Amino acid sequence: MYLEHFGLARHPFQITPDVKFFYDSRVHKRALATITYGLSKKEGFVVVTGEVGAGKTTLIEYLLASGNLKSVVTARISTTQLEAENLLELLVGELGLRKSGASKAAFLRDLNSFFLRTTQSGRSVLLIVDEVQNLSPGALEELRMLSNFQNREQPMVQMLLVGQPEFRGRLASRECEQIRQRVIASYHLSPLAPAEVSVYIEHRLHQAGWQGRTPFADGVYDRIHAETGGVPRQINRLCDRLLLYAFLEEKRRIDMEAVDNVVAEMRAENLAAASPAAGPEAAARDAVPQAEAGAAPAAVKPAVVPVAPSTRRHNGGPPAPEAYSELLSTIDDLRRLLGDYRSRMDQVLRLVSEQERRRKRGV
């Protein structure tokens, strides 16, 4: 939608990990250095943690695309809601091995044979486990057992464990003591510092084809950091919506007023999504469109405003007048936002229709 408006070749703030947009911040540089050191040992576990959206997956994608693992056979597991036996079967499949059977013993035999052939050829094996915090205790124990596989006292497989911060707490528990003792290197990805946010945003803009002065006005970068906490995925979501807002308002600069409006919209959407289902406590409903920036409008979902405790009847008496007043004010706010959304979505639909007509005419 806004690409032509800003002279961009591609979307700069998509939330899907893309190594073309990798930004080597201070913490990402340290993380890469830590991982590189750990992998050079060719044994044990390397652990990387970070909040949701901190850039863990992008970091791993960058590592795999860097060309530094040419002599390493990698297998990556991202579906980790698994029990022990399912994990082994999935690993056999990820490595492209022909199964000799359907039992745990058969899976272990297949893996051991593959590890042995690989190490004898002068290569090593790296198993990357994403979302490791979701693994069952049994599956985690299987990883520890796999790390025991050796060829002439040399480990045949190394593991890179990637997950959310809670995995660090789990790793500190008694049940994970043996795994903890085999951790070669560990790093936690923290959010971007305030000074890094502007560099991160402009890096992504330039990677998408932006030329010239930044479209963000003075003070907006600090506000973006305050609203997102410096988490890259949250920055991407907000910036994507800001560019869409500027396009719809036919503006080239994104100022604080634009941020105020977009943040209010996104908070209203979050409120609508988090509202409980209808019940005795539901007082009002208004349709709030849920749409990803740059995409066609999605299905409309109801926003439910729960009745505040103060509006309930006490001892058979009527609700307090001020409670009604507060509720009506909330309803009015939602109706106003709904009107803004509908107007904005109508504008989007008109633009999409016009672009489709132009495409068919070959303009």
Three-state DSSP class for 330?
helix
Q: Which residue has the higher pLDDT, 313 or 77?
A: 77
What letter represents residue 205's amino acid? Answer: L
Query: pLDDT by residue (tens digit) across 211-224?
Result: 988 999 999 999 99
Distance between CA 230 and CA 251 in Å, rounded? 25
Q: Which domains does the chain have, with CATH numbers?
A: 26-189 (3.40.50.300), 193-274 (1.10.8.60), 279-363 (no CATH)
Average pLDDT score over residue span 240-262:
94
> What is the mean pLDDT of the segment spanning 253-276?
86
Residue 332 pLDDT greater than 50, yes or no: yes
Q: Which of 44, 43, 56 is nearest to 17 (CA)?
A: 56
288-312 pLDDT, tens digit per residue, is: 333 343 344 344 333 333 434 444 4
Asked whether 92 and 107 are in contact (CB, 8 A), the reply is yes
Average pLDDT (155-164) is 95
Strand duo 150-151 + 154-155: pairing: antiparallel
pLDDT confidence of 68, banded at 50, 70, 90? Answer: confident
